[in-house]
Amino acid sequence: MAHWTVRVKTSEEDIETGKIRNKSETFLVRAETIEESQRKVREYFRGMTIDYELRSVSKSNIMGYIDSEGNAIE
């Protein structure tokens, strides 16, 4: 299974000022295909009240990660 770097632009209204705040966020997604990685990010944002836009998806060179308990996730 591959890891994908998914960049997302989010827009949210500041309650105090009424201004729109844009922010770029990056997600590391474990998926077989680029389409699956996009689907997982869309599912993550489903039901949230912020606007988002998938900006880019690229295959990551990250082979895996080690969690706080020392377990390797590949």
DSSP character string of 3-51:
EEEEEEEEEEE-TTT--EEEEEEEEEEEESSHHHHHHHHHHHHTT-SSE
- Residues of the chain predicted below pLDDT 70: none
Question: Half-sphere exposure (CA, 13 Å, Cβ side) for 23?
Answer: 11
Q: Report domain extents, the chain.
A: 2-61
Percent of the chain at pLDDT > 70 equals 100
Q: Which amino acid is at 41?
A: V
CATH architecture of 2-61: Roll (3.10)
pLDDT for position 36:
97
pLDDT for position 65:
85
Residue 67 CB partners (closer than 8 Å, separation 6+): 73
pTM assigned to the model: 0.82
pLDDT for position 38:
97
Alpha carbon 24 to chain centroid, angstroms: 10
